[in-house]
């Protein structure tokens, strides 16, 4: 299951849900079929949507009142991985990167990817070495020159401080 958004609460008084999208194109979070909860149960079957500030206002057959919509606040919504299109070359779903081994360009093992974060200034890999605290590394073409999901590894370039 892939997390594609989170319900931010009610929008308006007619039972619309305010949905914060985690997809590259915000409207895509409602394009892959019903939205599921973490356990896989259908919680929203969108019937219409429209953009609102930093989110989507979504009508769904499961929600008819503002109170219904407000009760769903803070719930993350998911779709099945199989419902998503295959990524283009050099594009990746963050969930596919988690668990990959990380090595440097000179062959040193650095650990495993434990998360991918979007902090606003660019995507960051969170890497956990076996015996120390995790660290962040930029997920850019220059800093992360090779991603091989089939082989289960990522190669990063360590830039030494001067």
pLDDT at 11 over 90: yes
pLDDT of residue 71: 95
Q: Could you report the per-residue pLDDT of 134-155, keeping only the tens digit for each?
A: 999 999 999 999 999 989 999 9
| pLDDT average, residue stretch 41-55 | 94
| pLDDT average, residue stretch 104-113 | 94
Any idea of the CA torsion for 147, 123, 39, 76, to the nearest 10 degrees? -160
| pLDDT average, residue stretch 41-63 | 94
- Report the range of poorest mean pLDDT among 1-10, 65-74, 84-93: 84-93
CATH of 2-83, one of 2.60.40.10, 3.20.20.70, 2.40.30.60, 3.40.50.300: 2.40.30.60
**pTM for this predicted structure:** 0.72
d(CA 1, CA 124): 21
Residue 54 φ/ψ region, left for φ over 0, alpha for ψ in the -120 to 50 degree band, beta for the rest: left
Percent of the chain with pLDDT over 90: 73
pLDDT of residue 120: 74
pLDDT of residue 10: 95
Q: Look at residues 26, 23, 148, 147 and name the one whose alpha carbon lies nearest to residue 85.
A: 23
Q: What angle do CA 65, 68, 72 make, to 5 degrees?
A: 145
Question: How many angstroms separate the Cα of 127 from the Cα of each of 19, 33, 98, 99, 117?
Answer: 30, 33, 9, 9, 11
Q: Look at residues 123, 100, 124, 104 and name the one whose alpha carbon lies nearest to residue 112.
A: 100
pLDDT of residue 78: 94
Q: Could you report the per-residue pLDDT of 66-83, keeping only the tens digit for each?
A: 999 999 999 999 999 888
Looking at domain 94-156, its CATH class is mainly beta
pLDDT of residue 87: 84
Would you list the domain boundaries of the chain? 2-83, 94-156
């Amino acid at each position: 299951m892939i997390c594609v958004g989170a319900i931010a609460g009610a929008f308006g008084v007619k039972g619309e849900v305010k949905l914060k999208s985690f997809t590259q194109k915000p409207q895509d979070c409602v394009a892959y079929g019903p939205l599921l909860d973490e356990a896989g149960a259908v919680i929203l079957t969108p019937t219409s949507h429209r953009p609102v500030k930093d989110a989507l206002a979504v009508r769904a057959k499961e929600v008819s009142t503002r109170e219904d919509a407000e009760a769903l606040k803070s719930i993350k919504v998911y779709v099945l991985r199989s419902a998503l299109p295959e990524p283009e070359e050099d594009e990746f779903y963050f969930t596919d990167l988690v668990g990959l081994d990380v090595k440097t360009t000179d062959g040193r093992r650095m650990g495993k990817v434990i998360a991918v974060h979007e902090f606003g200034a660019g995507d960051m890999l969170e890497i956990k070495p076996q015996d120390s605290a995790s660290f962040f590394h930029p997920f850019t073409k220059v800093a992360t020159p090779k991603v091989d999901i089939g082989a289960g590894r990522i190669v990063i370039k360590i830039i030494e401080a001067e």
